[in-house]
């Protein structure tokens, strides 16, 4: 049975879910998304990914700065939704909004709750070295990702998987999960399960201050840090290149097992560096091989291409 749906989302992670809902024949009566923001070198206003997709689909788009006013709440109520589907919207939903749809508001969240409630669950799962994560459809409450869970899908996190790769896998998986949940809802067969009281963790928003690589940490921790922030915002360090210190993003890495780190080697020391074998860096314990890097103002490049221009040498120190 077709449902009357208000969709609420902002980034590209939400687009596959919107497309799946429309593709299943549901009546998406409106999309709510964050207002256009200035972005890029020219700082031109840019519509969100959901905004652009909704316009392509011919769906009315609303971009309120807040949903707290009686006027905004009345406009939302006038849409008479059966359910609101929320995917990374970015605004808190007041109780008046949560209670308006006949079947409430359902949210797609990119973790296995109650682990990684909050803003950056994909990044935090990889940075913590989690072996698996997933997507869940949950009923929204006033608390932060505290509502009961309707349906879930799990996925293994590969040893070299980046946040960008996991994002794309979960976005596609989430779209499929949501339409299955809506089908169950339309049949009256969607049953909530309360979240466990134990194991609650919070995925706080990534802060620029934590993106710099700390070479005193273990090689495994640095590896997880790099892939958990790749491709955006990107982990980085500073290197002496061409006689000056330059910030370099580290986008891919691999744990190095073929080199013994001499006792007393300072973390951040280049242990091996050539175009063929790559660049290996000593960490607080163990060593890490750099696989893909990006110099300021340039495109991402494989380590062989990077090394031809950088010419790092064994014994150099990165910071």
Residue 117 DSSP symbol: B
Is there a contact between 194 and 148 (Cβ–Cβ < 8 Å)?
A: yes
Q: How many whole angstroms separate alpha carbon 51 and alpha carbon 36?
A: 9
Q: How many whole angstroms separate alpha carbon 186 and alpha carbon 297?
A: 51
| pTM reported for the whole predicted model | 0.95
Angle, CA 162 vertex, CA 218 and CA 303 arms, to 5°: 75
Each residue's pLDDT, cut to its tens digit, for the chain (319 residues) gives 899 999 999 999 999 999 999 999 999 999 999 999 887 777 788 999 999 999 999 999 999 999 999 999 999 999 999 999 999 999 999 999 999 999 999 999 999 999 999 999 999 999 999 999 999 999 999 989 999 999 999 999 999 999 999 999 999 999 999 999 999 999 999 999 999 999 999 999 999 999 999 999 999 999 999 999 999 999 999 999 988 999 999 999 999 988 889 999 999 999 999 767 789 999 999 999 999 999 999 999 999 999 988 889 999 999 9
Task: Give the count of beta carbons closer than 10 Å to the beta carbon of residue 111.
Answer: 24
């Amino acid at each position: 049975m077709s449902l009357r749906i208000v969709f609420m989302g902002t980034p590209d992670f939400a687009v596959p879910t919107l497309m799946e809902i429309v593709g299943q024949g549901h009546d998406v009566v409106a999309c709510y998304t964050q207002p256009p923001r200035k972005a890029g070198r020219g700082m031109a206003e840019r519509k969100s990914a959901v905004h652009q997709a909704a316009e392509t689909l011919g769906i009315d788009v609303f971009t309120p700065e807040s949903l707290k006013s009686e006027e905004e709440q009345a406009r939302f109520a006038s849409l008479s939704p059966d359910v609101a589907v929320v995917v990374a919207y970015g605004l808190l939903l007041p109780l008046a909004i949560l209670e308006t749809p006949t079947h409430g508001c359902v949210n797609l969240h990119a973790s296995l709750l109650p682990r990684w409630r909050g803003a950056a669950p994909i990044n935090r799962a990889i940075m913590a070295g989690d072996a698996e994560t997933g997507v869940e459809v949950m009923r929204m409450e006033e608390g932060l990702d505290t509502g009961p869970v309707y349906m879930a899908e799990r996925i293994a996190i590969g040893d070299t998987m980046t946040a960008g790769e996991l994002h794309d896998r979960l976005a596609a998986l989430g779209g499929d999960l949501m339409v299955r949940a809506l089908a169950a809802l339309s049949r009256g067969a969607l049953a909530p399960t309360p979240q466990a009281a134990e194991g609650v963790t919070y995925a706080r928003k990534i802060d620029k201050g934590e993106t710099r690589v700390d070479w005193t940490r273990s090689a495994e921790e640095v590896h997880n840090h790099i892939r958990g922030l790749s491709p955006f915002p990107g982990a980085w360090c500073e290197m002496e290149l061409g006689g000056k210190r330059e910030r370099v993003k580290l986008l891919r890495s691999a744990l190095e097992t073929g080199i013994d780190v001499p006792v007393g080697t300072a973390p951040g020391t280049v242990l091996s560096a050539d175009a063929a074998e790559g660049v290996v860096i000593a960490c607080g314990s163990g060593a890490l091989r750099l696989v893909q890097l990006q110099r300021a103002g340039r495109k991402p490049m494989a380590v062989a291409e990077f090394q031809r221009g950088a010419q790092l040498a064994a014994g150099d120190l990165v910071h």
